[in-house]
Structure 1
Amino acid sequence: MTTTSRLGIVGGLGSLAGGDLFYKLVKSRAVLEDQGRYHFLFEQHPFKDVLLPLDRHASMTARKFYVFQVCKTFEDSGVDAVLLPCFASQTFREEIQQELGIPVLDMMQALVRHILSSVAPGTTLGVIASDFVRHAGLFEQHLGQHFNLVYPEDHAQVALMEAMYGVNGIKDGHLDGVPLESVYQACLSLQGQGATVIVPGMTELSLVCGDLQRRGIGVLDINQIYAEFATQADGPRRQPPFKLGIVGGVGPAATVDFMGKVVAHTPAGKDQDHIKMVVEQNPQIPDRTANLLRDETDPTLALYATCKRLESAGAQAIAIPCNTAHAFVERIQAHLRVPIVNMLSETVEWIVSTYGSGQAVGLLATSGTLQSQVYHQAARRSGLQLITPGFDYQALVMKAIYGERGIKAGFIEGVCREQLLLAAEHLCEQGARVLILGCTELPLVLAHSESFRVGNYRVALVDPTTILARRCIGLSSDGRNTV
């Protein structure tokens, strides 16, 4: 079965050149041979700076915003890749790419690939470009290592800019007469400097390529090259930067704590080395424990809706820093395109790899988590024996979390800590030497530790949010979005 390829074309940056690219895509060999495979979307909106000349000091701000908005529309509509037919916009393509989950195809890469396959290294290339693109160093960056680059002489460059951007210029649809002659003279200027191939740095050059070639100018058609590049079966598809989605607000402080752990455990030398995170802090998600224990409002839909919004925001994996919420993960996951990183399974696997199977492990968690048996199921699969508090000690755990002076009320010292330590010592007395801090509020009071004194015992405290943070960082480092 043929896979459909949906390609979006950003129009409006040079309306005629964008339309020319669309035409050359439709009539390209790949499309004509398999017309059912390719779907094209052409998006063009009023862009107030479109007719401004791209002089040396032209501002790119409005252009960046316009390009991003059109690309984001494409992303939201399910487009597989975007074509950006504008050399000035190629100078900030990487900035746009960093904010999208779909690839913006690199027009300069298409051009370089074509030239390297057909032109001998060391050849002198003449570049027809706007003042802005010329002084941005775009061609030096991509072609300067292999070729000698020359530009039109000053008087020819001035005439070229007028031919493109002036009244009755090529961007306005005047493709012959004085504008064409000015472009021709610029090409002759390049040939006079030894150029044997004329390289386009303006997409509008494609509109007059045929006329120039008939006059003996060896000019490349960038729109044809870009169209062929985009429709190649093995065309490049860049994996977007990893973005982690976080279901926040369950509870709010635990969400902030989890984000802090992601930052703290990321091996980063500068801000840009950290991973992207998109968070929906949604404290209005109904209480998970109340639903499991007393059949109060079901949080499944709210959790699902939050995950879908994270998915729409480009998340490649989702973390839910709430142990009890994992009782609802299985019913949600089947309806998502991206994986939820299962904090409970990751925690159990980490304990087995660190302390071995067959361990007696104590679990401090909400009564809802205990009743749902989600930790018990994961533990049984890994050969761990779970020990849970007796009735009175479990009541202490719940008071430490939900009480008037509990963690959810903003307390991390005093009675809530004492209650947790009593429950922890109770588990140690039953033989536990590893304790899972199985509610994301608990690490706000008791930190992850290899050796922590509880009464007369030494015990390892395992913080699932730390394990989850490390796993999410690992997904980012591996460049994967599957768990």
Structure 2
Amino acid sequence: MNTSSGMGRRALGMVGGAARLATVEVLRKMHDANANARTFQPLDIAVERISDIERRASISYVAGSAKHKLGVFDAIRDFEQRGLPAVALPCFESHLFIDELQQNTTLAIVDMIAALFAHIRQRYPLARRVGVLSSPVLCERRLFERYGARARVEVVSVPLKGADGLREACETLIGQGVDVLLPGSTDSALSLQRLGALGVPVVDSYSVYAQHLLFAEQRRPARQIRLGVVGGVGPAATVDFMHKVVRNTPAARDQDHIKVMVEQNPQIPDRTDHLTGDGADPTLALYATCKKLEDGGADLIAIPCNTAHAFIEPIEARLRVPIINMMNVTADYLRTTFPAVDRIGLLATDGTIASGVYRTALEARGMSQVLPPPAMQARVMNAIYGTRGVKAGFTAGECADDIVAAVDSLLSQQVEVILLACTELPLLFPQAATVTRKGRSAHLVDPTDVLARCCVEFARGTPLATPASARHEASPVEYAVHANRNESNAAFNAELI
């Protein structure tokens, strides 16, 4: 993905951190480079907002501290929320934690130090030793040495405190046989060019970075898929679904698990009440919850509620991310796992049955649903919604007796597979794969578990067999900075806030 804005121009945020002068210098050099370029590069630039608190905090600034990290991240997050696709980081010290920043944003962070070493490799291919004039903390943390190792050049760093002693430091590095001098701090980058000829080439760090920002294509790095979960429908079922996501993830450590965000909204109106009576319509509440997940960066959405799927068609038509349809993935699983079975027992709410969501999915794959008799279906509803039902927090006693009776009624109809098609019902059959009653057996299939496995597989790179897709083009993002329509008068448009 490139850094084009919704207006067709490239867009970029600028986060100077504590290096405010560096931001100004990079902007100036970008202007000069663009004005002198053969091909004009239209570019929208937004500069981070600086609060009074941040101005006071910069006086006691410590490079790489928690305060430093959080301040830079907040600025990047602000650009992310405003819709910018990339961010420049002209502060050398902020590169101490650039990997942490990149792991926690969808924006492309343009690595200044990597660009400088790429320039050295291209401009001075015979250079084997690079002398870096940097700050004490960057020398101590060996930041440039790490970048040099990746570029296969040896780095010799000298710490500077301000611009004092700059010439002496350069002579020290030259005496150690460096082939190129690289300013690696704001002070050295702003001052080194004033020293005149030094006997070895000197990289103009901010000029190189400005050229890179203008003319190099910036791509967003690959990132881990984030699963969004519509929670609270119901609350216990959401916890059960999350447990199944964790259980179905092959992981040896915490970091191997997938990213998940849950919008827990138990105030969503009851789905069955609306489908079978005069209860409030849950469509808008479901949609609002999905939009919060989409706005929060979810790449796909799971709704661990069977009945809620009766409402998703108009919802997913207005989303930019897919909703994983639990009925479809479950029916696919049944067809693949039980190819000889064509009659599926269904334990579900009255609302799910009335909506026909499972009937439609099963019939599309050559199967039919088998329901409990009306009296047994009433016991299913009592097991779920009764005063001693699963939604009331019970998993034994009356609710279990009711479901066992309903299972018996399906077994008597010679079904070989029974769907636990309400997300509360698997709580009554923890880890059970089959059920046997009076000499008859059937496989139990938990759609929640099927959905969890599908979400994990998708997050780990397996494409959906029949992925839901957005049915409309994403609306163009409204940027905080827009192009000056008269491009002949400016090399780029910068917003200083």
Between the aligned partners of 1:132 and 1:393, the Cα distance in structure 2 is 73
Normalising by structure 1, report the TM-score.
Answer: 0.88
Query: Secondary structure in 2 aligned to 1:408?
Result: helix
1:110 equivalent to 2:119? Answer no
Residues 96-245 of structure 1 mapped to structure 2, 5 A cutoff: 96-120=101-125, 123-144=128-149, 146-152=152-158, 157=159, 160-163=160-163, 179=164, 182-212=165-195, 218-232=201-215, 234-245=217-228
Most deviating of 23-32 and 6-15: 23-32
Give the corresponding residue for 1:45. Answer: 50
Q: Report the residue type matching 1:469 in the other structure.
A: A
Query: Secondary structure in 2 aligned to 1:17?
Result: helix
1:77 equivalent to 2:82? Answer yes
Give the corresponding residue for 1:265. Answer: 248
Give the share of equivalent positions with the same residue, in percent: 42
Give the corresponding residue for 1:334. Answer: 317
Q: CA deviation at 1:454?
A: 3.5
Cα distance change, pair 85–420 in 1 and its aligned pair in 2 (3 A): same
Give the corresponding residue for 2:20. Answer: 15
Between the aligned partners of 1:107 and 1:241, the Cα distance in structure 2 is 24
Cα distance change, pair 330–195 in 1 and its aligned pair in 2 (3 A): same
The answer (yes or no) to whether the contact 2:15–2:75 under 8 Å persists in 1 is yes
Give the corresponding residue for 1:253. Answer: 236
Between the aligned partners of 1:252 and 1:14, the Cα distance in structure 2 is 47
Q: CA deviation at 1:307?
A: 1.1
Between the aligned partners of 1:119 and 1:112, the Cα distance in structure 2 is 10
Normalising by structure 2, report the TM-score.
Answer: 0.85
Q: Report the residue type matching 1:372 in the other structure.
A: S
Between the aligned partners of 1:377 and 1:342, the Cα distance in structure 2 is 12
Q: CA deviation at 1:324?
A: 0.7
Q: CA deviation at 1:335?
A: 1.3
Q: CA deviation at 1:421?
A: 1.6
Q: Report the residue type matching 1:304 in the other structure.
A: Y
Between the aligned partners of 2:170 and 2:391, the Cα distance in structure 1 is 72
Between the aligned partners of 1:100 and 1:329, the Cα distance in structure 2 is 29
Give the corresponding residue for 1:33. Answer: 39
Residues 424-435 of structure 1 mapped to structure 2, 5 A cutoff: 424-435=407-418
Q: CA deviation at 1:216?
A: 5.4
1:396 equivalent to 2:375? Answer no
Give the corresponding residue for 1:286. Answer: 269
Cα distance change, pair 95–187 in 1 and its aligned pair in 2 (3 A): same
Between the aligned partners of 2:460 and 2:246, the Cα distance in structure 1 is 14
The answer (yes or no) to whether the contact 1:357–1:382 under 8 Å persists in 2 is no
Q: CA deviation at 1:231?
A: 4.1
Between the aligned partners of 1:222 and 1:475, the Cα distance in structure 2 is 42
Deviations 1:89-120 (A, max 9, x none): 11111222222222322233322322332333
The answer (yes or no) to whether the contact 1:360–1:432 under 8 Å persists in 2 is yes
Q: CA deviation at 1:185?
A: 2.7
Between the aligned partners of 2:294 and 2:174, the Cα distance in structure 1 is 53
Between the aligned partners of 2:252 and 2:276, the Cα distance in structure 1 is 46
Match of 1:349 among 328, 332, 338: 332
Match of 2:425 among 423, 432, 442: 442
Give the corresponding residue for 1:310. Answer: 293
The answer (yes or no) to whether the contact 2:183–2:192 under 8 Å persists in 1 is no
Cα distance change, pair 53–74 in 1 and its aligned pair in 2 (3 A): closer
Between the aligned partners of 2:270 and 2:46, the Cα distance in structure 1 is 44
Q: CA deviation at 1:278?
A: 1.2
Between the aligned partners of 2:417 and 2:67, the Cα distance in structure 1 is 57
Q: CA deviation at 1:67?
A: 0.8
Q: CA deviation at 1:247?
A: 0.8
Give the corresponding residue for 1:382. Answer: 365
Between the aligned partners of 1:216 and 1:242, the Cα distance in structure 2 is 51
Which structure has more relative contact order (CA 8 Å, sep 6+)? It is 2
Q: Report the residue type matching 1:370 in the other structure.
A: I
Give the corresponding residue for 1:176. Answer: none
Cα distance change, pair 466–80 in 1 and its aligned pair in 2 (3 A): same
Between the aligned partners of 2:139 and 2:280, the Cα distance in structure 1 is 62
Cα distance change, pair 298–151 in 1 and its aligned pair in 2 (3 A): same
Aligned residues: 456
Q: CA deviation at 1:304?
A: 1.0
Q: CA deviation at 1:12?
A: 4.1
Cα RMSD after superposing both structures? 2.5
Between the aligned partners of 1:355 and 1:43, the Cα distance in structure 2 is 58
**What residue ranges of structure 2 are gaps of 5+ in the alignment?**
469-497
Most deviating of 300-309 and 96-105: 96-105
1:87 equivalent to 2:92? Answer yes
Q: CA deviation at 1:126?
A: 0.1
Match of 2:439 among 443, 456, 460: 456
Between the aligned partners of 1:25 and 1:327, the Cα distance in structure 2 is 54
Cα distance change, pair 291–212 in 1 and its aligned pair in 2 (3 A): farther
